């Protein structure tokens, strides 16, 4: 089965940039999708197909994917960005696979 | 506006059964693949089961294969997850999730319901 890895936590000051990584074997050959989940709420799609943003998602959220690492970047971090972030791929051996999640804390 | 409303969660004893439902509205339900994703307390997301738009294909995570059955009623815009032989490790919030059309095999979930809590405990 395909496995994704994420750092458990990231801390960032308001106005700075947060980078959340998602690791997987040759993940660059897969499309990576990202979800934001605030406390007590359902997940929300924020990036799909590596770099695309659904309507309503701020441009401060961006994604990239190459080699063995995909990255979600949050620019000009705001207090409201504090949440858990999950990466996800679809893999033929495992169907939908989620990373373990990264907790973003805004200092 | 797309809405997904789950129901059917509750407390059940180990070995028991429960049936979850998801009502879809605001979109043409019969055009879209659907899935259930769960989240154990304090844990991450885990895909549970998926079904094709017509209902002719179903897919299951190894952790629930043989115990859960997913079906859909496109005439009533409803998704049903029959869960049998429940275990303590099935305790989780269960989310109904919609897959966009034509995602080409690299699929994701563009809408989620608010979830329904299933607790398996004696």
User: Residue A91: what pLDDT?
Assistant: 87
Nearest to A72 by CA among B93, B103, A12, B107: A12
**Three-state secondary-structure class, residue B118:** strand
pLDDT digits (tens, 9 = 90+) for A52-86: 999 999 999 999 999 999 999 999 999 999 999 99
Q: Is A9 on the interface with B (CB under 8 A)?
A: no
User: Residue A92: what pLDDT?
Assistant: 83
User: Residue B101: what pLDDT?
Assistant: 83
- Chain B positions touching A48 (Cβ under 8 A) are 108, 110
* Nearest-Cα residue of chain A relative to residue B43: A100
User: Residue B29: what pLDDT?
Assistant: 96
pLDDT at residue B102 tops 80: no
User: Residue B10: what pLDDT?
Assistant: 97
- Chain A positions touching B33 (Cβ under 8 A) are none
Q: Is B107 on the interface with A (CB under 8 A)?
A: yes
Nearest to A49 among B106, B112, B113 (CB): B106
- For the ranges B54-63, B64-73, B103-112, the lowest mean pLDDT is seen at B103-112
User: Residue A94: what pLDDT?
Assistant: 76
Q: Is A101 on the interface with B (CB under 8 A)?
A: yes
Q: What is the mean pLDDT of chain A?
A: 96
Tell me which residue has tokens 């620019």: A75
Nearest to A34 by CA among A51, A19, A17: A51
Mean pLDDT of A34-62: 97
User: Residue B96: what pLDDT?
Assistant: 98
Nearest to B109 by CA among A75, A48, A23, A15: A48
Q: What is the mean pLDDT of chain B?
A: 96
pLDDT at residue A47 tops 80: yes
Looking at chain B from residue 25 to 64, which residues have their Cβ under 8 Å from any Cβ of chain A?
35, 37, 44-47, 50, 59, 61
Distance (Å) from the C-alpha of residue B83 to the closest C-alpha of chain A?
A: 20
- Chain A positions touching B109 (Cβ under 8 A) are 33, 35, 43, 45, 88, 96
* Cβ contacts from A onto B, under 8 A: 59
Confidence category of residue A100, pLDDT binned at 50, 70, 90: very high
User: Residue B71: what pLDDT?
Assistant: 98
């Amino acid at each position: 089965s395909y496995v994704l890895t994420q750092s458990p936590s990231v801390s960032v000051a308001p106005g700075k940039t947060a980078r959340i990584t998602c690791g997987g074997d040759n993940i660059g050959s897969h499309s990576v999708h990202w979800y934001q989940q605030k406390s007590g709420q359902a997940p929300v799609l924020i990036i799909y197909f590596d770099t695309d943003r659904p309507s309503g998602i701020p441009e401060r959220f961006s994604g990239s994917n190459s080699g063995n690492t995909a990255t979600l970047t949050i620019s000009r971090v705001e207090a409201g960005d504090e949440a858990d972030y999950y990466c996800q791929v679809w893999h033929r051996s495992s169907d939908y696979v989620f990373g373990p999640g990264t907790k973003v804390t805004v200092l | 506006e797309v809405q997904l409303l789950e129901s059917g969660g509750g407390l059940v004893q180990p070995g028991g059964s429960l049936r979850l439902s998801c009502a879809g509205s605001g979109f043409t339900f019969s055009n879209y693949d659907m899935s259930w994703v769960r989240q154990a307390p304090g844990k991450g997301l885990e895909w549970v089961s998926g079904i094709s738009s017509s209902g002719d294909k179903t897919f299951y995570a190894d952790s629930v294969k043989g115990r859960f059955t997913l079906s859909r009623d496109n005439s009533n815009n409803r998704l049903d997850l029959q869960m049998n032989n429940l275990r303590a490790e099935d305790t989780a919030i269960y989310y109904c999730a919609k897959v966009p059309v034509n995602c080409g095999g690299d699929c994701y979930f563009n809408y989620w319901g608010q979830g329904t809590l299933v607790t398996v405990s004696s």
